[in-house]
A and B are shown apart, each in its own frame.
Chain A
Amino acid sequence: MKPSYELLIIGAGPAGMSAACEAARNGVAVCVIDDQPEPGGQIYRNASRATDKQNQVLGKDYQQGKNLVDDFKSYGGEYYANASVWHVDANNQVGVIKAGKNYFISAKNLVIASGAQERAMPIPGWQLPGVMYAGAGQILFKGSGIVPTGELVLAGTGPLLLLLASQYLHAGVKIKAILDTTPKGRIVKSLDKLFSGVQGYEYLIKGASLLRHIKAAKVPYYKHVEGLCAVGVERVEKVSFASATKAGRKVANISLDVDTLLLHQGIIPNTRLARAAQCETTWDAQQSCWIVATNEYGLCRQNTYVVGDAARVMGAVASRIQGRLCGLHVAQSLTKVDSHSWQVWHKDLLKKLRKENAIRPFLDAVYQPADAYLIPQQDDVIVCRCEEVTLSDIQDAVRLGCQGPNQVKSYTRCGMGPCQGTQCSNTLSHIVAKQSNMPMAQVGELRVRSPLSPITLGQIADL
């Protein structure tokens, strides 16, 4: 790794790879850092090495990733796998750990493409062995080719849950039940958003076909599930819920034996790196998460970009387009693109991006998580899994007069563990907001500080 680059890109997912290819094609000297062993991000994880079986199960959208990964592998710039970023700051200085050694990189232009993460789903028992995120189920199949056996239940809301269910069915994995927590009436309520979404009708067709597939497989499908709990002592044994609708009929107090429970409440931008770089975030009520303030090229401030799902959840296809836009913008800012080409190319990409994003308001509205799954409903539910801090611990601290999440952290250790609040920060802010009757934008979130990924004292001492 060199001490400085014209363009440093963090993340080799759809946005990062596309930005790299576009910038390099226009003559920019690029370096890409990624913490996975292979390029692809989560969505195209392992895409270039997938077996026929994996490709067959994961479908066309996943296979499309292979072209991009292959392009990226010969894109002409530098690429470092298994390299994790532990420090980023407002001056585009980046600290990277690779093979136990620290490197400091000064980036003339910095692109943060750190992708998305699962939204936490703090239900009773979600910390038990046997409970994982649905995304983890998909990652396990993409990366390691493994699937659950035994009693499997999928619970939550969002397109990924249905996609995973359909992929598992293709793979011959038996699903005991799907517990859909999407609240009643969401689709009807969200129809007004569909007008703008007409351009994204392929997504609606896709969604409908997933549902048809699940229905045809006769997987028991519970809708409007409320009061979901994972129950067990040393691991999850049962999943229970207070009420739901099944085949049009109300059901109550159901308990199902389960070996693996996969949860999903949608995905949210992983804004840690962006915030460490002092990029501004704002609360997005529709997506129910913090998003990074950028323009359509992903620019946050001069020479610093946040693109793709890392800024705002937009999906792989939009991320690819925005990545290209961003790479082109960097090239243009370095005067490597003539103004005519810039005009033509960027307008074309912008048009594609806007078309791709047209469906988002509808999807966001339908799959907005219910409050009951954002804020725990029982006192003893664990919010901070690392430090084992419960809802009532946090409520006690707020009652004592805590001004906001950072003060609650001081009093309760919520967010102080190894994950540094990636799993609990939003839940914490939601609880504070509700209890002190403040809007999320005012409550804010836990502050981000280095190290952003594991580093030892010896490695820092050796900088």
Chain B
Amino acid sequence: MFKVLDDNHEFDTQISFDGKDHLVPSNITVAAAALLIGVKSIRETPVTGAKRMPLCMMGVCYECLMKIDGVGNQRSCQTLVRQGMVIERQIGATEVEAEYYEA
């Protein structure tokens, strides 16, 4: 339900969103990319599983928490997209994996 206004914008940054590849303009935030792609929700709350989308876009409301490059609960409105970025919806609470850290 959002579009880039300026036709001159190049969609030159490839990101993966929940396993699907998308091209988006560079220099936009992950939250903006999610709106542009038209996803239905970017997270499900850890309390009731309700679906949410970003609210404030300026880093204060924490509604836009997503899993970005493997790290959960990141503010997607404060993070710019990067070539090859892997973005996933934040489903409920963060999962921590012990094996990963045990050398």
Contact = CB atoms under 8 A, between A and B. Distances in A.
Nearest to A82: B78
B9 to A, nearest CB: 6
A35 interface: yes
Interface residues on B, range: 35 or more
A418 B55 CA distance: 14
A149 interface: yes
A148 interface: yes
Interface in A31-69: 35-37, 42, 49, 51, 53-54, 57
A147 B56 contact: no
B25 interface: yes
A453 B51 CA distance: 23
Interface residues of A, number: 50
A146 interface: yes
A130 B32 contact: no
A35 B51 contact: no
Interface in B55-88: 55-63, 65, 73-75, 78, 80
Contacts of B56: 117-118, 132-133, 135-136
Contact of A132 (B50, B57, B62, B65): B57
A176 to B, nearest CB: 12
Given A37-B80, A42-B58, A132 B2 contact: no
Interface centre among A37, A136, A386, by most chain B C-beta atoms within 10 angstroms, is A136
Contacts of B41: 129, 234-235
Nearest to B80: A37
B63 A141 contact: no
Contact of A135 (B4, B5, B57): B57
A34 to B, nearest CB: 11
A423 B62 CA distance: 9
B62 A419 contact: yes
B103 interface: no
A146 B1 contact: no
Given A37-B80, A143-B29, A385-B63, A127 B52 contact: yes
A242 B54 CA distance: 27
Interface string B1-25: 1111110110000000000000001
A260 B3 contact: no
A388 B58 CA distance: 21
A280 interface: no
Given A140-B35, A234-B51, A146 B61 contact: no
Given A37-B80, A234-B40, A148 B62 contact: no
9 contacts: A37-B80, A51-B6, A54-B6, A129-B51, A136-B58, A140-B32, A385-B63, A423-B60, A453-B59
- Of all A-B residue pairs in the complex, the 8 with the closest CB atoms, nearest first, are A144-B32, A144-B28, A136-B57, A129-B53, A418-B62, A419-B62, A139-B57, A53-B6
Interface of B: 1-6, 8-9, 25, 27-29, 32, 35-36, 40-41, 45, 47-48, 50-63, 65, 73-75, 78, 80
Given A42-B58, A146-B32, 14 more contacts: A37-B80, A53-B5, A53-B6, A127-B52, A136-B54, A136-B56, A136-B58, A145-B4, A145-B5, A146-B4, A146-B35, A148-B2, A235-B40, A388-B45
